[in-house]
Amino acid sequence: MPQVRFDGRVVDPHALERFCTRLLQTHGLSEVDAQLVAETLVEANLRGVDSHGVARLPHYLRRIHRGSINPQPRLKVETLGPSVGRVNGDRGLGQVVMQRATEQAMVLARETGAGWVAVSNSSHCGALAYYGLQMAEAGMIGFVFTHVDPMVLPHGSRQAFCGTNPLCVTAPRAPRGAGEEPTGALCLDMATSKVPWNTIANAKMEGVPVEPGWAVDAEGKDTTEAGRVVSLYPFGGYKGSGLGLMIDVLCAMLGGAPIGPDIPRMYGDLTEPRQLGGLVGAIDIGRFVPLETFHGRVAELIQRWRALPPSEPGGRVLYPGEPELLQRRHRQREGIPLGNRLLDELESLARETGQEGAMARLLLVVPPPARTQVPPNKKAARETAS
């Protein structure tokens, strides 16, 4: 995923997760929900998806303070049929809402072979891979969609209509044997814009430019100044543009959420709830073929894929999800890089909430040279409020 470069320092991922959990608890979240949200953010950083990592936490806390995010939502889970359901998020943090929808989709899939759960009245849910990988780990094919406020130019237009409208599709690989390295599921997690909007937000925060060809200013002209960005280009021209529109249909119209142009802006009025929708789908592979057979065929698929001749000398042909897996292994050993301005903002939040000691003791700690691998989604079985 494209990212921006910035000056900063490396922090310990486990200390960072504990620190984020404490900050969320000081803003009214239960311990269980705070741990969930903190884990999703740190997992995104570990996988190299810094656009959806802890840089988003200060914004979440500001929205909680301004009343547009409910720190203790009462989620409403509806069963609409044997394989379909809906979760009303009660203005909760998107991670709490999407996690509940993912769990419900897997329950329905176990019962009937497939489960589809629409989401409404939610907020920004972070990186979709977190939810998709849970379904893969459960022996299912996973689908996750969400939508956001208008920030992407439709192909041929000078004005944004849909959001970055990401999608995630996952498929499992065979579980690792004793002593083997984690293999990682197939995982495609992508925005329908060239880059996520929050990559631009990170660049603006750290005062660094963005790449040419990513975005335009208010006059519709290409810009590399993050502070002047108004809209993003879709990936692949009309292909990304059309896919983003169809994801808006899936996320808005099944759960009763507003469509792209009507969605309150993420960085607009912080007192206005986002009202975001989403859709989670799970397919129980064992209903079609034995899971072991599926694992074997996926292993063969990846083997043949990776055996292809690279386009550049010394290069590798990586399968979807492998770059993030490699980055995760690296950052588990070496730590997570955070920008100086983000660290300043986290330090300010620590002072405001009486967490100065936690900031000093837990956050600014460079990890030792080697650490034990921690599997992703280690808290996936948690129960959330309903």
The one catalytic residue in 27, 52, 124, 295 is 124
CA–CA separation, 196 and 94 (whole Å): 17
Query: Could you tell me the maximum CA-CA distance found in the chain, to the nearest angstrom?
Result: 58
| pLDDT, tens digit only, all 386 positions of the chain | 566 677 788 999 999 999 999 999 999 999 999 999 999 999 999 999 999 999 999 999 999 999 999 999 999 999 999 999 999 999 999 999 999 999 999 999 999 999 999 999 999 999 999 999 999 999 999 999 999 999 999 999 999 999 999 999 999 987 655 444 556 799 999 999 998 888 888 888 888 999 999 999 998 899 999 999 999 999 999 999 999 999 999 999 999 999 999 999 999 999 999 999 999 999 999 999 999 999 999 999 999 999 999 999 999 999 999 999 999 999 999 999 998 899 989 989 988 888 776 666 655 566 654 443 334 444 443 433 33
- CATH number belonging to domain 8-296+318-363: 3.30.1370.60
Residue the block writes with tokens 């792209």: 260
Between vectors from CA 94 to CA 92 and to CA 98, what angle results, nearest 5°? 110
Task: Identify whether 124 is a catalytic site residue.
Answer: yes
Q: What pTM does this model have?
A: 0.89
Angle between helices 57-66 and 340-352 (to 10 degrees): 40
CA–CA separation, 270 and 52 (whole Å): 19
φ and ψ at residue 232, rounded to 5 degrees: -110, 155
